[in-house]
Amino acid sequence: MNKKTIYLYMIPVLIICGGLCLLSINKTTDLISKNQIEIIERDNPYESTNEVPLEYYQHLDLNGEYVYNVTQFGDNEAWWWYFAGFRGMFKSDPGGKININFTGFYDRDPNDWGDEFPETNMPYYDIEIYNKSGPPANFEANNISNSEVAGVLTLGYNGFQSGFLIPISNLTNLKEMALGQATGSANGEVMVEESFNFLYISFEEDSQNIMTYLIYDRWTGLLVWAETYSYGFKMEIQSLNFTFNYDLEYNYTVNQFIGPKLWNSFMGERGYFNSSYGNHILVNFTGFYDKEPTDDSCFSAPIPFINITFVNNETFYNISNTEAGDALVIGYNKFYSGFLISTENLTLLKDLAITEALGSTNGIVTIKETKLTIKITYDQIDGDQFTSLIYDIRTGLLLWVYTESSEDILEITIEGITPGQYSVGLSNPFFSDDDEDDKLTRESTLSEETLILFISIVSGVVLFTTALSLYASKVKNVEPKFILIGIVGIACFTSLITYSYGLMPIPEIIKEKKEGEVDDITLIVDFGDSTVKLWDDISTDEDDTVFDLLRDYCDVEYEDYGENGVLVTSIDGYENGEKNWFYGVNGEKIGYSCSKYEVEDGDIINWIYGDDYSPP
């Protein structure tokens, strides 16, 4: 075989390799591009500006002060940043304050690293940290970057250093960016959840040395709440600027409706109303007033009143929220929860929901919580009512309802949001009836079409290789024959490797149960004054006790009685005295020391500050 013949056979082989490489590159580029945040270009992206860039909330008050109440804080800490060096020590305590004043939006310092947010239009601000005792501030820093503050206070993780303000122009890309930073200098699990008002982002390092839980206002991008832990440092803060907007018109999209329907409630009949799939129901809050004399709902006065409009049909003016709940079956028995509930005391709310499972009708009530939402479901026993409700856990606003009774069906969702919880590897929106389905994993697999294409290409390469090999076997000159077989073999191997790489998914971090670990633990601490702290989906070592878990999440004082265990005397500053601390597990009071009770999978641990233990 002469050189010309070899070159002729090399041509189709190279064409196949080139095509596969091109397909692989395109495939890989598509995958990578999904994890990039959209950067909105400005006329001069390197120009410092005191105006609010288009990426951010346009009515942000640059002259205003944003105040955060401190609910827990660790020991005296050093404020140190990579390029800025040591700025001083800082500390706060429960009841202290952190004040933020924005100074503008500027380019990132060239020495600032470790942050995936854009290099331009970085928020800068003055920060002051106070103890509960008040002024003077024990720490002040002027005109420092959002990235630096996020890094020092652990208001972010890896390259997602979100700090006190996030851009809101493209929340989809922002969420993808948050999920994409599950690995980096620290590897862990990222959770993202979204409700009408809020965006929740959390990161838990695999070793539990770094944990950050953040809630942002979706409409302003401002930090609303944060709880952070980093190698001994801990902080929890709550915005004092956020308020629920009662003046806003809340728009619900109708998913299912059977009508026309008679408006009939404890207030009597008001006439017929109607709607249909894709239509809208508008709700305006008109104020809070005493209950109507015939209102026997379980909710205390004052209660919200509303105007409700069924678009292109009917409007009912200044009716009570409980009347709307009764007429539309947004609730059950005397739990007429309607469009707004009080969530200041979640323990009381859940007690009311469970108590009203028995009444004029009897049913089963189930309650599920996420960081942003509470889902209450009522399923009537030997009856036809089924009602499932999702409320914003911080504002009490109704987000979604599906209710059916007799021949009536109503399903509505607040416009612009699909309640859901996502993580790296999480694809199923919101809740499932099966607890194990609440966190479904997302696996990257080859589609049927891709698999067929892959098999076809491999088969073609194999046939082509076989044909050339047979031809080569007839060639008397041994050296060219080996050259030809070598070329074809390398081409096939390269094609398979290259194409497989192109189909390879971007790695996803899926949290799995580790050996020697217990999972799905819930810790509830009720301080008896409408303050309730809740941590769910906790994982810990299998030998850990209720006492160990409590100390991981709260400031605890105790007395040690040796073999008899410890007695908790104070949690987060609430000391035993007129009231005392009691604990229970799975609704049952435990009569021995919390340091003797080892936690198990699925345990719900409840601490109560009061006269005695009562189940949540």
Q: What is the residue whose two structure tokens read 């949690």?
A: 571
Residue 352's closest CA among 326, 378, 384?
Answer: 378
The pLDDT of residue 292: 95
Q: Which pLDDT band holds residue 2 (cuts at 50, 70, 90)?
A: low
Q: How many CA within 13 A on the CB side of residue 9?
A: 24
Nearest to 282, CA basis, from 291, 295, 292, 273: 273
Residue 340 near residue 304, CB atoms below 8 Å:
yes
Q: Are strands 604-610 and 517-526 parallel, antiparallel or unpaired?
A: parallel
246 CB burial (10 A radius; 0-12, 13-18, 19+)? middle
Maximum Cα–Cα distance across the chain:
107
pLDDT at 3 over 70: no
Cα(340)–Cα(423) distance, integer angstroms: 28
Q: Note the pLDDT tens digit of each residue in 19-28.
A: 544 444 444 3
Task: Tell me the two tokens of residue 555.
Answer: 């400031």
Instruction: Report the C-alpha gap between 535 and 523 in whole angstroms.
Output: 5
Tell me the three-class secondary structure of 16-53, residue by residue. Answer: HHHHHHHHHHHHHHHHHHCCCCCCCCCCCCCCCECCCC
What is the residue type of 487? Answer: I
Average pLDDT over residues 414-431: 52
Does 511 score more than 80 pLDDT?
Answer: no
Least reliable range by pLDDT among 31-35, 52-56, 561-565: 31-35
Contact criterion met (CB below 8 Å) for 423 and 191: yes
Token pair of 397, please? 């606003």
pLDDT in the model for residue 241? 94
State the DSSP H helix or E strand holding residue 12, giving kind and residue range, or none if neither.
helix 3-33
Q: Where in the chain is the domain with CATH 2.170.130.30?
A: 517-610
Query: Quick one: tokens of 5?
Result: 């013949």
Give φ, ψ of 122 to 5 degrees: -80, 130
Q: Which residue has the tokens 């050189």?
A: 3
Instruction: Please say whether the beta carbons of 125 and 164 come within 8 A.
Output: yes
CA 57, CA 222: separation in Å to the nearest integer? 9
pLDDT tens, position by position, 520-566:
899 999 888 878 888 888 989 888 999 999 999 999 999 887 777 88
CB 100 within 8 A of CB 116: no
**Backbone φ, ψ for residue 233 (5° rounding):** -75, 135
Q: What is the pLDDT of residue 459?
A: 55
Q: How far apart are CA 526 and CA 91, in angstroms?
A: 26
Q: Tokens representing 94?
A: 């429960």
Q: Tell me which architecture the domain covering 517-610 has in CATH.
A: Beta Complex (2.170)
Q: What is the pLDDT of residue 469?
A: 52
Please write the tens of the pLDDT for every residue from 83-141.
778 999 999 999 999 999 999 999 988 878 778 898 889 999 999 999 999 889 999 99
Strand 268-273 and strand 280-289: the pairing is unpaired
Size (the chain), residues:
616
Report residue 328 CA to chain centroid gap: 30
Task: State the pLDDT confidence band at 587, using cuts at 50, 70 and 90.
Answer: confident
Higher pLDDT, 469 or 441: 469
Helix (H, G, I), strand (E, B) or coil at 328: helix
Q: Which residue has the tokens 């189709």?
A: 12
Q: Which residues neighbour 604 within 8 Å (Cβ) at sequence distance 6 or greater?
A: 521, 522, 524, 585, 586, 587, 616
- Collapsing DSSP to helix, strand or coil, 268 comes out as strand
Chain centre to alpha carbon of residue 90: 29
Reply yes or no on whether the pLDDT at 408 is more than 60.
Answer: yes
For residue 227, give every residue at least 6 positions away whose Cβ sits within 8 Å of its Cβ, in sequence order, or none: 72, 212, 213, 234, 235, 236
Closest to 303 (Cα-Cα) out of 263, 354, 341 = 341
| Cα dihedral 133, 135, 138, 139 sign | positive
Would you say the pTM of this structure is higher than 0.75?
A: no
167 exposure class (CB count in 10 Å sphere: 0-12, 13-18, 19+): buried
Structure tokens at 166: 């996030």
Q: Which residues of 208-227 are buried (b: 16+ CB within 10 A; e: fewer)?
A: eebbbbbbbbbebbbbbbbb
DSSP assignment, residue 505? P
Q: Does position 203 have pLDDT exceeding 90, yes or no?
A: yes
On whether the CB atoms of residues 581 and 608 are closer than 8 A, the answer is: yes
- Contact in structure between 410 and 397 (CB atoms under 8 Å): no
d(CA 434, CA 422): 16
Q: What percent of the chain has pLDDT over 90?
A: 57
H or E element, residue 354: helix 346-355
